[in-house]
Amino acid sequence: MEYVLTLIGQPGANAVSDKFVARAGVALDKAGARVEDTTWLAPETAADISFHDVDWTRGYESVVAELSGQPIDIAVQRPADRKKRLLVADMDSTIIAQECLDELADLAGVGAKVAELTARAMAGELDFADALRERVEMLAGVSAALLQETFDERVTLSPGARTLVKTMTSNGAVTALVSGGFQFFTSRVAEAAGFGSFGGNLFEIEGDKLTGRITGHIVGAEAKQTTLEALMAEHSIPAESTLAVGDGANDIPMLKAAGLGVAVRPKPVVRDAADVTLDHGDLTALLYVQGYRLDEFVD
């Protein structure tokens, strides 16, 4: 059976050198693989190594051991259906570099309490819905104007986010941003990054102030998976042609349901649920994982 192993580093860091590509090839050979072509996707940033005649886990583990301590992400997959037709992405700490609710709470003066609950919920230590309600309750009486201030002053796209979305869109993929956060932010982040659709929770607002309550059903782990499956059905896209990306415990069902689940600098509980874990590369790494070359990127 044929596989492709991809080595990916942080853009500009020159981490994926000829030396490390050669060492990966030797490790695969020692594991019993027959190594075929090496293809550079981006000079000193990303390279594919094709191999067969060995189980993928054995090949992967041999390369991980060989390159231990190097700032290089490693992915292994079948070459079929590599370029995905559907991208469903988490927002907080994935497409953006922040947790919006934490930033809002910080401006409102309750940042430490909210951030602690966020961290525990994302690590899977607390029920997501209960923790979300508790955090939002702490914001009761906060001016709704602080929402826009939070977005303007605190929220930034993660490196590579716009390129990821625009490149996949230009190649015909459906893209969706779905978050356990709030639509006030997902709508704006989706526009900034170029997503085709977005979803999230709704703050209840009365008299230009947050009431501390959430309107409607809570968008959590189940809703993220449901969004993925609904888009698959709507656009007749098979699971193997889908990509989901996230970092927290509430992303796990979505990551498992996708053909390729990618965890980006994830909480420990998320690592085992993902097909690929990215600790070093930016979000353009998701393009390299799909086999895109640097000269195919759309900015």
Q: How confident is the model at residue 253 (pLDDT cuts 50, 70, 90)?
A: very high
Report yes or no: 221 and 250 within 8 Å, Cβ to Cβ: yes
Report pLDDT for 286: 99
Dihedral angle over CA of 53, 56, 59, 64, nearest 10: 170
**Cα 116 to Cα 51: distance, rounded to the nearest angstrom:** 45
> How far is the C-alpha of 23 from the C-alpha of 26, rounded, in Å?
5
Model pLDDT for residues 260-296, shown as the tens digit of each residue:
999 999 988 999 999 999 999 999 999 999 999 999 9
Work out the average pLDDT over 87-113. Answer: 97
CA distances from 42 to 175, 266, 289, 293 (A): 24, 25, 12, 6
Which own/partner pairs from 196-205 qualify as long-range (CB within 8 Å, at least 24 positions apart)?
196/169, 199/223, 199/227, 200/91, 201/132, 203/136, 203/144, 203/147, 205/144
> At 54, is the pLDDT very low, low, confident or very high (cuts 50, 70, 90)?
very high
Q: What residues act catalytically?
A: 90, 92
Assign 88 a pLDDT band (cuts: 50, 70, 90): very high
- Read off the pLDDT of each residue in 227-250 and give the average, rounded to a whole number: 98
Residue 83: pLDDT band (50, 70, 90) is: very high
The closest of 76, 66, 112 to 4, measured between CA atoms, is 76
Q: For residue range 30-46, what is the model confidence (pLDDT) as tens digits? A: 999 999 999 999 999 99
Give the full edge-to-edge strand order of the sheet including 73-77: 34-42, 46-52, 2-8, 73-77
Quote the pLDDT of residue 271.
95
> The domain 1-80 is classified under which CATH number: 2.30.30.230, 3.30.70.260, 3.40.190.10, 3.40.50.720?
3.30.70.260
The pLDDT of residue 128 = 94
CA torsion sign for 237, 242, 245, 246 is positive
